[in-house]
Amino acid sequence: MNPHYLAPLVPILWCWIGLGLSTLSSWKLFKFEVGLFLAIACVGFAVLERYDEFDFNHTRLANFELWHHQRRGIEAQLRSIDGLHLVLVEYAATHSPHEEWCYNSADIDRSKIVWARDLGQAKNDVLLRYFSNRTVHRLAVGFGPVKLETNDPLDATVKKE
């Protein structure tokens, strides 16, 4: 389950938290108004808890930006080369579905670059015949450093290392 599915509940949670802190802040112990101190302490502990959990190395964000920037870099590289391009992307079994490399513009046939998943030789052959006017590139994602490989134009199949 993704956290964004719970987003509609956030305003209700904030209202409950606000009501709870309001009630807590009115507590008294004998003559001492300890409730306000407890309410401030709760907020302080919550902030410290998030501060402690915060990833200052931004590894999760860095991973997102890493693949996203890599894709943009590869796309810029291909746009600078004359002609039309087809990029076959092979994902590792451990690849996160949230890091999607294969998305295209609405008019795929007129796009300079078409991104497609590597679906095996038989299905790739159909794709290669359909996009026969394009230079075919191969991209392996999740197997180590991402490197774009270009096929020999005379070779109709994609080379594997």
The pLDDT profile of the chain, 161 residues, written as one tens digit per residue, is 567 778 888 899 889 989 988 988 888 888 888 898 889 898 888 877 766 555 554 554 445 557 778 888 899 999 999 999 999 999 998 888 878 899 898 999 999 999 999 998 899 999 999 999 999 999 998 888 888 888 754 444 444 43
51 is written with which tokens? 């501060």
- Do 91 and 117 contact (CB within 8 A), yes or no? yes
The whole-number pLDDT of residue 66 equals 74
User: Where are the domains positioned within the chain?
Assistant: 3-53, 82-150
Sign of CA dihedral 127, 132, 134, 140: positive
pLDDT of residue 1: 58
CA atoms within 13 A on the CB side of 47: 6
Give the Cα separation of 4 and 7 in Å (integer).
5
Q: What is the largest CA-CA distance in the chain?
A: 90
Conformation bin of residue 65: beta by default, left when phi > 0, alpha when psi is -120 to 50:
alpha
- The separation between CA 44 and the C-alpha centre of its own chain, rounded to angstroms, equals 32
The whole-number pLDDT of residue 158 equals 41
* CA–CA separation, 5 and 8 (whole Å): 7
State residue 126's pLDDT score. Answer: 92
pLDDT given at position 12: 92
Q: pTM higher than 0.75, yes or no?
A: no
